[in-house]
Structure 1
Amino acid sequence: MSYTKPYFAGFEYHSKEVCKFLQAYSTFTLMLTNGAIIHHQPEHALDFRRWLNHHQIEDIRVSIRNNDPAAVAQQ
C-alpha cells in the first residue's frame, strides 16, 4: 500500500481536502477544509490511518492530549 498517493482507495476526497480526523474503532469522523464533517468506514482502518498520518492530517485526539496541561502533567 502506498501512503504517498493523494487519494486513498474507496475514499473520494483528496488528502488536501481533509484537515482533521477522529477515529472510533473503524469509523473515522473527518473535517474537510470546506467545513463539512463526514464519516468514513474504510475496509482497512489501519492503512487509512497511516495514509492520514502520512499526509500530516491532524488527529484531534493527539492534538487535545498534547495541548492539555493536565494530560502532560500525568506523563
Structure 2
Amino acid sequence: MSFTKPYFAGFEYHSHEVCKFLQTYSTFTLMLTNGAIIHHQPEQALDFQRWLNHHKIEDIRVSIRNNDTTLVNQP
C-alpha cells in the first residue's frame, strides 16, 4: 500500500480535505477543511491511520497529550 497517494482506497476525500482525526478502535472521526465532521470505518484501520499520519493530518489524541501542561509539569 502506498501512503503517498492523495486518495485512500474506499475513502472519498483527498488528503488535503482532512485536517484532524480521532480514532476509536476501527472508527475514525474526521474533521474536513470545510468544517464538516464525518465518520469512516476502513477495512484496514492501521493502513488508514498510516495514510493520515503520512499526510501530516493532526491526530487530536496526540495533540491533546502534547499540549496537556498537567502531564508536562509533573515531577
Q: TM-score, normalised by structure 2?
A: 0.96
Q: How many percent identity over aligned positions?
A: 85
After the TM superposition, which parts of structure 1 deviate over 4 Å for at least 4 consecutive aligned residues? none
Runs of 5+ consecutive residues of structure 2 not aligned to the other structure: none
Runs of 5+ consecutive residues of structure 1 not aligned to the other structure: none
Deviations 1:23-54 (A, max 9, x none): 00000000000000000000000000000000
Task: Using the TM superposition, name which of 7-16 and 63-72 deviates more.
Answer: 63-72
Which residue of the partner structure matches residue 10 of structure 2?
Answer: 10
User: What is the count of residue pairs matched by the alignment?
Assistant: 75
Output aligned runs, 1:33-52, within 5 Å: 33-52=33-52
